[in-house]
Amino acid sequence: MNVTGVVVEYNPFHNGHKLHINETKQITDADLIVAIMSGNFLQRGEPALISKWARTKMALNQGVDIVLELPYVYATQHAELFANGAISILNGFGANSVCFGSESGDIKDFHRLIKFINENETTYRESIRDALKKGVSYPKALSFAFKKLKNHNQVLDLSLPNNILGYQYVKAIYEQKANIKPFTIKRKEAQYHDKEIPKQSIASATSIRKKLVKEQDHLNSINHVVPSTTYDELVQYRKMYHNFQDWERLFPYLKYKVLTSSPIALANIYEAEEGLENRLSQTINEATSFQSLMEKIKTKRYTWTRLQRFCLHTLTNSTKEEMSAINDTTPYIRVLGMNQKGRKYINNQKKYLELPLISTISKINHPFINIEKRATSCYSLGYSPIIQAKLIKEEYAHPPVII
């Protein structure tokens, strides 16, 4: 059976994602689509609009056969660790291929880039270190270092976000010696950071979230850019939970955490570097919202995303010691949902898996699971006590979604 993986967040699932799945099936000749999906918190250090269970339903209703969770410790990381975690799950699950969207759209570009970087490894790493010493952000340091390499303009443009992530997927496949063939499709129409809903049927997830949360628009303003099953799930979710989750709803709890933590405790938070924890504690009282806090702590050295991730790890109390256990291989595979075809594959495959396959987290004891539980408890904040209890109980007891 030809099993193809996609690495996703689906925040929320929209028509662009549907197009990705359809084209993935076509170019990989996939018999089964497996989505490696981030949980309740995402790579940019922000809460998902809706829970992982609702997003799993959206995926299964639109052509995904199995949804596996990318654990918090990988899902909330920079591109390299994010990709390492996702590829290790796909490799451990027996996937034959992975397909990702990119600005390039040509997988040969990524193989050429891997070879080019390897040939210039020493110079590249030295240039990165030099750029970081000058106080620029890590992504900019990578970009500066890359542009200093001779003939860099003859290979893939690494200044574009999806090319960067795609490069890390392919790099992880090489480094893990994974038996996975990479494919890529060119991103079409809406770009990652587009903020307005277009008239056509494909919009960025950023613009959709803005409509649903920041502008508090009615749901019908996005119904032409999402599948009907996504629209129905969003309607049902708002009816049940009353609101979609975002950082502003979690900000009071972050503020409380910072104000009641000692300097030593904050310094031990993962990604607390170069006095970043002091900057956070010195400005938290002046901030009246999460947006204003971010504007106050933003510097040229740190990207918005990097700062959001630090705030998130502070909220969830994820420490350097806990997160130091991260490596290239995930310790378990957690199933969030499946359809009947996916269920049949899992029943046939699970006896061959080298990693534990779990359906509920009560069945395994691991430090990453403890972080996952804590993250979900923090995700539930901002809702009513009844809904908080429901979300926390789901983390422990929710069986895989079956469509």
Q: Compute the average pLDDT of residues 2-27.
A: 96
101 is in an annotated binding site: yes
327 is in an annotated binding site: no
Res 45 pLDDT > 90? yes
Q: Going by C-beta distance under 8 Å and a sequence separation of 6 or more, which residues neighbour residue 367?
A: 322, 325
- Lowest-confidence region among 145-154, 174-183, 281-290: 145-154
11 is in an annotated binding site: yes
Confidence of residue 192 (pLDDT cuts 50, 70, 90): very low
187 is in an annotated binding site: yes
pLDDT in tens, 329-370: 788 999 999 999 999 999 999 889 988 999 988 778 888 999
Q: Give the global pTM.
A: 0.94
136 is in an annotated binding site: no
354 is in an annotated binding site: no
278 is in an annotated binding site: no
18 is in an annotated binding site: yes
Q: Going by C-beta distance under 8 Å and a sequence separation of 6 or more, which residues neighbour residue 390?
A: none
Q: What does each C-alpha distance from 388 to 276, 376, 380 come to in angstroms?
A: 31, 9, 5
- Lowest-confidence region among 24-28, 137-141, 300-304: 137-141
C-alpha 28, offset from chain centre: 23
